[in-house]
Structure 1
Amino acid sequence: MFTLVLHTHLPWLAHHGRWPVGEEWLYQSWSAAYLPLLRVLRTLAAENRRNLVTLGMTPVVAAQLDDPYSLEGMHHWLANWQLRAVEARTQVASPSRRGTAAPDTACTPEALRTFGIHEYAEADRALDDFATLWRHGGSPVLRELIDAETVELLGGPLAHPFQPLLHPRLREFALREGLADARHRFGRSPAGIWAPECAYAPGMELGYAAAGVGHFMVDGPSLHGDTALGRPVGDTDVVAFGRDLQVSYRVWSPKSGYPGHAAYRDFHTYDHVTGLKPARVTGRNVPSEDKAPYDPERADRAVDSHVADFVDIVRRRLISESERIGRPAHVVAAFDTELFGHWWYEGPIWLERVLRALPEAGVRIGTLADAAAQGFVGQSVELPPSSWGSGKDWQVWAGEQVADLVTLNTEVVDTALTTVDKALEQNSTPGATVPRDFVADQIVRETLLTVSSDWPFMVSKDSAADYARYRAHLHAHATREIADALASGRREAAERLATGWNRADGLFGALDARRLPRP
């Protein structure tokens, strides 16, 4: 059996900047990856194809796809994209263009006019999809695919924390609330989760079992590369499935992965007048200003070639692994969802063709839940501390580069738990239900945003590191100033502060601090 797992995640971006990092990141991923990917899955679902993809959807992404502010912003962004395409297809030689683009390159007026026609059609289609299916949120669109059993939903903890470093009380709360959030949006609790960053610490399987999680993802090295079967962890029935790196890296390898092919659209090359990406990769060492114009027909031929290659790789891997273990094997390829369309423009087309070609080649496709139910599970295993980051350990989230953020997280969590515990205790009356506390809820909400795994990842990878540090300290400041006001008896001030921060950080409306595990 072959399983494709997609992990959909971005941090909370609404109300927190626009360009170059902020809401633009959300809208680019939404338009380039989420819209076309769900279009592909809807097409396959209409053909009665079932159990095709295991789709991880983090609560923080689901919240943004349902958020009225983000929905309005996305509609404006799509309309602006269409306007930029109009600008491209009406390009003429002008002083602003003179001398900026060499002949036969992607940013000449002639090449941009051709590209603008193609891009306008794409934007028009996206606008139509959005207006028809998405204007009331992403949950109804995804729920239809879940109900049709085309996808298996994986959930996760609220705000995507790096769980091994998280206080046990907040870890338990974030996971249970994350599963409840999925139940509210999609009508069912996920049977499995994508553990944020595939991060694991010994004993976490006990928390998974208590929360009703039946399976989760780890990276291949966590199982010493033996990923042909899922493995129950410790003394539990919770199964860890490992990503097969040999198959996964065939697609997403910095040195040899498909998206770097010369025919595909280049992610990094912009036309700085229209803001569009009109070039093809051309060559790994070709400067942006010398990139050739994008050619959809050339790219389409490359897609077919890479579909055939991937199907061959999967078949050979399944055969070799089955021979090695003496029973039918299971291969899991896992990727960030945003690869398909955002980072790799042709990714959704490739994905649709792969999902058609694999069964035609005799490869059975199933979800992680299918694999568990159909016995693709081996002997139990003791997992080491691990992740899918550099070194496959915790260094990206706990290394020297981010030691200050680790300290910040610990301090903020301690402050939040202490303050919330006291507030709930003061509001309790013997024999009566403790009333919900909006201020305590916002303290917990800001704390969860502070400990998002995105911030140390971005710092360690030097990817918008300043923005990441700003966001971590911003949410830490919000937590502290609300908690300080509440702890010092200034209840009205705490309520005003909580209300103000909630305008920007009002996600997870069902979050209830009363459900925090007791100390």
Structure 2
Amino acid sequence: MFSLVLHSHLPWLANHGRWPVGEEWLYQSWAGSYLPLTSMLSRLADEGRTNLLSLGITPVLAAQLDDPHCLSGMHHWLGNWQLRAHEAQNRELSTREHRSASAALHEFETHWRHGGSGVIRTLVDSRAVELLGGPLAHPFQPLMDPRLRQFSLTEGLSDAQGRWGTRPCGIWAPECAYAPGMENEYATAGVTHFMVDGPALRGDTSLGRPVRDSGVVAFGRDLSVSYRVWSPKSGYPGHAAYRDFHTYDHDTGLKHARVTGRTVDSADKAPYDPAAAAAAIDKHVLDFVDAVRMRLREESARIGRPALVVAAFDTELFGHWWFEGPQWLEKVLRALPEAGIDIGTLEDARTRGYVGAPTQLEESSWGSGKDWRVWAGEQVHDLVTLNSEVVLAALDAIDKNRGPSGGGQPELRNRTNDQILRETLMAIASDWAFMVSKDSAAGYARERAHIHAHASREIADAVSRGQGERAAELAAQWNRADGLFPSLDARRLRTERSYCRDGETE
């Protein structure tokens, strides 16, 4: 069986800059990836096709796809795209981009104007996709305080329940990061399966593997197949005929050139040719189907039973980074069954027995070196220290600020504590360390981490000083700036005493 897994994620960008890093990143991904991919999946669902892929959507991205400010900004962005198409001097480019912008506007106004939840829920309810959840704000879980890690995961799964009417039993752990013992937390939260990178299973990804004695299954990404599409050095998107991501018309921002060659300067790139790109798509569809078929045969022969191949990618690769990606993906999802290859979700693989012997999974991620260096290395030592300090101050303040719950009296909701947690989770998002380690808008990433860390510490400090009214005022002000996850409730953060007691019992 073949399983395709897509991981959809962007950090919280609303009201935190526009360009070159900020909301523009969200709107480009929305227009380039989320609109065409959901439209494509809807077409396939209308044909009665089910269990096409496992679709991970992080809570922080889902929040933006439902946010009124982001929805309004996206509508303006699509209109501006149409205007930029009018301004293009090249007639062919102008016509092509105007047609694309008009189609995107129609899709957005018809299906998205009230948020993304309705669009995604339709795909889930029709069984076109399996929904994968995850923790709030995309943290690097192995480095988290266990109490906060547990809270973040359960809140993230509850957020999915509220948006889509289903609580995911599978997750894409942020950065595919894992530390021994997390499988028990997954089991407690009702998670039955999760993704890791291939090397975490020592390259043996032909079956899912229960982790130790938890019963929670780890599925590994098959690198030999996944890297045909996207790898650090090669892959289909680099083909000469495809539209070049990095080259654009400076007057309009529209992308008018093809890759042409990996060493060709932007000024020397050839004009984009849709017909040549279409021919390359067909070629790469056939190549991918052949690669999957060969890998399934090899692995089935090796293990002496039907094997599983899992290919996993960032959703934003398809359309945003690789313009032709959505077209390629639709053709692949049609071509695989036509070639006699069974496709299904990770949940299908688990329930249909594509599971082998338990594994003693060790520390891993899907980052450089497949270890934790991107998020815990020397280059981001300052952020690791900042995160530890912020979390410690936040949990200490919340523990001191919780109202009495004894004597039959319920603990009342405390919006101050809620905001401390909200800002803390935003501060420790894995995106900031990733962007610094990869030198991708590192200044913006550090600024974002420090903004949220300052907010958390400012509120926590007022609490610690016994300044309850001041803390509540600060919490309200920061919430007006970033009020995502309105259902986040600090009362569901386990007290230190109860967590330690249960830990000792276990």
TM superposition score category, shorter chain reference: over 0.9
Cα distance in 1 between the residues matched to 2:411 and 2:203: 49
Find 1:348's aligned residue among 308, 311, 326.
326
Q: Which residue number in structure 1 is paired with residue 443 of structure 2?
A: 466
Q: Which residue number in structure 2 is paired with residue 55 of structure 1?
A: 55
Q: Which residue number in structure 2 is paired with residue 96 of structure 1?
A: none
Unaligned runs of 5+ in 2: 497-506
Q: Which residue number in structure 1 is paired with residue 43 of structure 2?
A: 43
Q: Which residue number in structure 2 is paired with residue 80 of structure 1?
A: 80
**1:399-414 paired onto structure 2 within 5 Å:** 399-414=377-392
Matched AA of 2:221 = R
Matched, 1:144 2:144: no
Cα distance in 2 between the residues matched to 1:56 and 1:399: 27
* Alignment check: 8 A CA contact 1:3 1:365 kept: yes
Matched, 1:372 2:350: yes
Find 1:287's aligned residue among 258, 261, 265.
265
Matched, 1:418 2:416: no
Superposed CA deviations along residues 112-149 of structure 1, whole A, max 9, x for unmatched, are 22111001000000000000000000010000000000
Matched, 1:501 2:478: yes
* Alignment check: 8 A CA contact 1:63 1:508 kept: yes
SS at 1:315 equivalent: helix
Q: Which residue number in structure 2 is paired with residue 97 of structure 1?
A: none
Cα distance in 2 between the residues matched to 1:163 and 1:254: 24
Matched AA of 2:180 = P
Cα distance in 2 between the residues matched to 1:19 and 1:66: 21
Find 1:216's aligned residue among 173, 177, 194.
194
* Alignment check: 8 A CA contact 1:265 1:281 kept: yes
Q: Which residue number in structure 2 is paired with residue 396 of structure 1?
A: 374
Matched AA of 1:258 = Y
Cα distance in 1 between the residues matched to 2:294 and 2:94: 41
Q: Which residue number in structure 2 is paired with residue 20 of structure 1?
A: 20
Matched, 1:482 2:456: no
Cα distance in 2 between the residues matched to 1:188 and 1:495: 33
SS at 2:4 equivalent: strand
TM-score (norm 2): 0.97
Cα distance in 2 between the residues matched to 1:159 and 1:466: 20
Q: Which residue number in structure 1 is paired with residue 2 of structure 2?
A: 2
Matched AA of 1:423 = N
Q: Which residue number in structure 2 is paired with residue 453 of structure 1?
A: 430
Give 1:488 deviation, angstroms: 1.4
Give 1:65 deviation, angstroms: 0.2
Cα distance in 1 between the residues matched to 2:168 and 2:215: 16
Cα distance in 2 between the residues matched to 1:518 and 1:234: 28
Matched AA of 2:9 = H
Cα distance in 1 between the residues matched to 2:461 and 2:401: 12
Give 1:499 deviation, angstroms: 1.4
Matched AA of 2:483 = G
Superposed CA deviations along residues 371-395 of structure 1, whole A, max 9, x for unmatched, are 0010000000000100000000000
Give 1:254 deviation, angstroms: 3.5
SS at 1:334 equivalent: strand
Matched, 1:434 2:411: yes
Give 1:429 deviation, angstroms: 6.0
Number of aligned positions between the proteins = 496
Q: Which residue number in structure 1 is paired with residue 161 of structure 2?
A: 183
Give 1:431 deviation, angstroms: 2.2
Superposed CA deviations along residues 434-487 of structure 1, whole A, max 9, x for unmatched, are 110111100000000011000000000000000000000010000011111222
Find 1:131's aligned residue among 106, 109, 114.
109
Cα distance in 1 between the residues matched to 2:156 and 2:2: 27
SS at 2:354 equivalent: coil
RMSD of aligned alpha carbons: 0.8
Matched AA of 1:381 = T
SS at 2:29 equivalent: helix
Give 1:255 deviation, angstroms: 2.6
TM-score (norm 1): 0.95
SS at 1:493 equivalent: helix
* Alignment check: 8 A CA contact 1:14 1:504 kept: no
Matched, 1:198 2:176: yes
SS at 1:275 equivalent: coil
Q: Which residue number in structure 1 is paired with residue 256 of structure 2?
A: 278
Q: Which residue number in structure 1 is paired with residue 277 of structure 2?
A: 299
Give 1:489 deviation, angstroms: 2.2
Matched, 1:384 2:362: yes
Cα distance in 2 between the residues matched to 1:399 and 1:327: 41
Matched AA of 2:78 = L
Give 1:428 deviation, angstroms: 4.7
* Alignment check: 8 A CA contact 1:158 1:448 kept: yes
Give 1:503 deviation, angstroms: 1.6
Find 1:510's aligned residue among 483, 487, 497.
487
**1:308-327 paired onto structure 2 within 5 Å:** 308-327=286-305
SS at 2:402 equivalent: helix
Superposed CA deviations along residues 66-120 of structure 1, whole A, max 9, x for unmatched, are 00111001000100011001111xx2xxxxxxxxxxxxxxxxxxxx221110010
Matched AA of 2:86 = V
Cα distance in 1 between the residues matched to 2:232 and 2:257: 19
Cα distance in 1 between the residues matched to 2:205 and 2:458: 47
Q: Which residue number in structure 1 is paired with residue 213 of structure 2?
A: 235
Find 1:163's aligned residue among 138, 141, 152.
141
* Alignment check: 8 A CA contact 1:14 1:64 kept: yes
SS at 2:416 equivalent: helix
Unaligned runs of 5+ in 1: 92-111
SS at 1:345 equivalent: coil
Matched, 1:255 2:233: yes
